[in-house]
């Protein structure tokens, strides 16, 4: 058998020292020997010339190749699982550090799923199927019981979960070619449509305003022949007390 240096495949742990998101690569120091690895490609579950998934490869809080660098629990540090495959370094995935904001217990949060971006935007699903998408400024989308997101602050095993970044007002916009709905942080909601806005209810529609209601249209039609507003009776012939 011919000895081929590329046949010595291995899997090792490494500390991420620099990232290069434009190439989906990073540089590392291997934890077992302290030697340096460059051009470590990050494996993706979905990738090609015109499709794929990328997380942006967040940078560690402190970049550098110091093999004696200590891990500050209040700063981001990243441990990668790096394989040597035919002479090419490939990051197969990552391991959580011993102390992390992402460890939730099965007693307090069984089966909880969390995906959190370094920007502090996150989405989570509880074992009760309550789903939240939360902006660090407080805007959120929720499907589930109740009308507020699950408060995760300090509920993780190490009691460290907290939102630190981008705590700014955010507008929620739902838009398509001919229509748009906006929820503004100021408390204003706007609905725009190039054609029709249709509201249907099987029973009642309630409209309440603290100051006034303004309706502007070339033609205003009432389809219900008799209705009552604030104790005043209306019909097709006019107003009656």
41 is a domain residue: yes
125 is a domain residue: no
pLDDT at 234: 53
pLDDT at 100: 93
In the chain, the percentage of residues whose pLDDT exceeds 90 is 67
165 is a domain residue: no
Quote the pTM value.
0.81
166 is a domain residue: no
Candidates 111, 106, 76; CA nearest to 94 is 76
Q: pLDDT of 43-73, one tens digit each?
A: 998 999 999 988 778 899 888 887 777 777 7
pLDDT at 197: 95
Binned at pLDDT 50, 70 and 90, residue 3 comes out as very low
Please name the residue that has the structure tokens 């069984």.
110
pLDDT at residue 229 tops 60 = no
Average pLDDT over residues 190-207: 95
Q: Give me the sheet containing 113-116, strands edge to edge.
A: 113-116, 122-125, 131-134, 140-143
How many separate domains does the chain show? 1
Give the domain extent around 82. Answer: 5-95
240 is a domain residue: no
CATH code of 42's domain: 2.40.50
How is the chain split among helix, strand and coil, in percent rounded to 5? Answer: 0, 35, 65
């Amino acid at each position: 058998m011919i000895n081929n240096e590329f046949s010595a495949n291995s899997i090792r742990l490494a500390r991420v020292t620099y990232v290069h998101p434009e190439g989906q690569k990073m540089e590392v120091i291997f934890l077992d020997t302290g030697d340096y690895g460059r051009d470590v490609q990050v494996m993706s579950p979905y990738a090609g010339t015109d499709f794929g998934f990328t997380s942006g490869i967040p940078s560690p809080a402190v970049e550098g190749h110091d093999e004696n660098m200590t891990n500050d629990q209040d700063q981001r540090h990243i441990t990668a699982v790096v394989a040597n495959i035919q002479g090419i370094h490939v990051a197969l995935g990552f391991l959580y550090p011993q102390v992390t904001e992402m460890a939730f217990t099965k007693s307090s949060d069984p089966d909880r799923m969390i995906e959190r971006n370094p920007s502090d935007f996150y989405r989570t699903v509880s074992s009760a199927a309550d789903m939240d998408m939360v902006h660090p400024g407080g805007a959120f989308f929720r499907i589930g019981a109740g009308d507020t997101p699950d408060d995760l602050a300090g509920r993780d095993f190490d009691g460290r979960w907290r939102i630190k970044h981008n705590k700014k007002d955010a507008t929620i916009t739902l838009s398509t070619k001919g229509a748009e709905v906006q929820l503004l942080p100021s408390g204003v909601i706007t609905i725009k449509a190039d054609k029709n806005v249709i509201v249907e209810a099987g029973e009642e529609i309630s409209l309440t305003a603290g100051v006034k209601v303004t309706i502007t249209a070339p033609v205003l039609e009432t389809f219900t022949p008799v209705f009552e507003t604030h104790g005043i009776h209306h019909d097709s012939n006019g107003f009656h007390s």
